[in-house]
Structure 1
Amino acid sequence: MSVNQSHAARTAEILLDIKAISFNTKDYFRLASGKCSPVYVDCRRIISFPKARTEIIAMMVDLIRDRVGLDYFQNIAGGETAGIPFSAFVANEMNLPMTYIRKKPKGYGKNARIEGLLGSGDNTLLVEDLATDGGSKFSFVDAIRQAGGICHYSSVVFYYDIFPEAAQKLQDHGIELLFLTNWEAILNSRNIKSLLSSDEINIVSTFLENPEVWQKNNCG
């Protein structure tokens, strides 16, 4: 999983500018898992900033063109819920049909899990806002495949890129991850030193080097 350095740097700059990346090195953020973290990524903020949104989607489409080719895909899919707006933006830019995948069947009517029209054999790109260890993508990819679609690629704005097992998990599931930026680009951004002191950067870096050990030592 290689990264376009120019896109990575620019996307990192945008995310910091719109405060999609947050830092709390004193009290820490409490995550849904119950663990704590000195960093928090909220790519949902992108949808509220038209200029940032337009530039990020353009870079994502460029990445798809460079890595795979736009003609390869017949469908753009988004996972409930954060992936839905991003898949819509990409589908519109690529002039392709869009579908979205529910986390679970809706439980009434047709009891559908996939909304929209997914053709049998359609090469489908799963678009999401971010990926941590990649595991959350598997359920959506499996749903696409079970419905007759073909899904070997997922595209995200932000990839944590700090979990050693993530790349192998994705490979084992037959998925190539296309991402615009990651933590390395954030910490190398020209804006970072105006946001964090050297001590705060050190705390964040220590967390990113080994989140599990850091959380054992710092999360009460």
Structure 2
Amino acid sequence: MMGHDSLIDIFSRELLASGALTFGEYRLRSGRISPYYIDLRMLISKPRLLSIAVEMISRLIDDLPLRPTKLCGIPMTGALIVSAIAVSKNIPGIYIRKEPMIYKDLLRKISGDSSIDPGCVDNLSRILGGVRSKTHGISRLVDGVIDDGDKILLVDDVITTGDTKIEAIEILEEEAKRRGKRIEILGVAVLIDREEGGEDAMIKRGISLYRAVGIRSIINSLEKQGLIDKSIQEAVERYLRGVPH
């Protein structure tokens, strides 16, 4: 079996070679300009990269103090990773539907806008709830079987601020309650931590974050292997130092 350091080196090379990691100027949803971009939606088309990703998350699972009885994928890439791990490690999987995540994200953004009347936010919340029910026939938030007493580890590809992970946990807990099931959230496992405050956000909410690798380690590995210039490494480091914590 490959050592952890060599696995990170291999993963970093595959990220770059596959085009899942690129460098330039990219405007994030937050409005910040990032010197790099990660797109792991292509994992489904890159079996070697997916295989390495599964191995890295599997090692995290093996090191957990409690073995999860279920893995929960956060849409969409997290669901793909969970499907692969479910087969390789014989751990059942579930996944959160994409639509509830979109609704929650929209409401979070609107709620944070002081120029919008609170009554409008309440009305929109009711409308979105109705649309969800009509679209799916039932207001199911999670696909798959949730058993009473499940110990669930959520899985995703990347963490930035942590907002979507917190939303995913809220949706999972809401759905478990709706089904009358007691669950225990073991935490969130991610493949890559962009190191932009996500871990701090998890800690503040009492949520355990398990990361396979941080972006600094990836960038340092690529520079060490001679695959990127020192100037790129320095640009990423300057960007990360400017991230408020």
TM-score (normalised: structure 2): 0.73
2:85 aligned residue (79, 87, 90): 90
In the alignment, residue 130 of structure 1 is paired with which amino acid? V
| Residues 13 and 191 in structure 1, CA contact (< 8 A), matched pair in contact too | no
1:114 aligned residue (128, 142, 146): 142
| Residues 74 and 122 in structure 1, CA contact (< 8 A), matched pair in contact too | yes
Partners in 2 of 1:61 and 1:196 — Cα distance? 28
Matched, 1:47 2:79: no
The within-5 A match list for 1:24-173 is 24=24, 28-68=25-65, 72-102=67-97, 103-104=99-100, 106-108=132-134, 109-146=137-174, 147=176, 148-163=182-197, 166-173=198-205
Report the CA distance shift for 1:6/1:150 in structure 2 as closer, same or farther (over 3 A).
farther
| Residues 77 and 99 in structure 1, CA contact (< 8 A), matched pair in contact too | yes
The within-5 A match list for 1:8-23 is 8-23=8-23
Which protein has the bigger helix share?
A: 2
- The higher radius of gyration belongs to 2
**C-alpha displacement of 1:145:** 2.4
Q: Which moved more, 1:47-56 or 1:195-204?
A: 195-204
- Secondary structure of the residue aligned to 1:112 is coil
2:114 match: none
2:208 match: 176
Partners in 1 of 2:7 and 2:227 — Cα distance? 21
Alignment coverage as a number of residue pairs = 202
In the alignment, residue 21 of structure 2 is paired with which amino acid? I
Cα deviation digits, residues 16-51 of structure 1 (max 9, x gap):
232211110xxx112233432211111222221112
Partners in 2 of 1:168 and 1:52 — Cα distance? 28
**C-alpha displacement of 1:190:** 4.1
In the alignment, residue 210 of structure 2 is paired with which amino acid? L
Report the CA distance shift for 1:5/1:153 in structure 2 as closer, same or farther (over 3 A).
farther
In the alignment, residue 44 of structure 1 is paired with which amino acid? R
Unaligned stretches of 5+ in structure 1? Answer: 213-220
Partners in 2 of 1:79 and 1:209 — Cα distance? 28
Report the CA distance shift for 1:178/1:160 in structure 2 as closer, same or farther (over 3 A).
same
In the alignment, residue 142 of structure 2 is paired with which amino acid? I
**C-alpha displacement of 1:114:** 1.0
- Secondary structure of the residue aligned to 2:206 is coil
Q: Which moved more, 1:115-124 or 1:104-113?
A: 104-113
Partners in 2 of 1:169 and 1:55 — Cα distance? 27
**C-alpha displacement of 1:120:** 2.2
Partners in 1 of 2:70 and 2:154 — Cα distance? 9
Q: Percent identity?
A: 25
In the alignment, residue 107 of structure 1 is paired with which amino acid? S
> 1 or 2 for the larger relative contact order (CA 8 Å, sep ≥6)?
1
RMSD: 2.3
TM-score (normalised: structure 1): 0.80
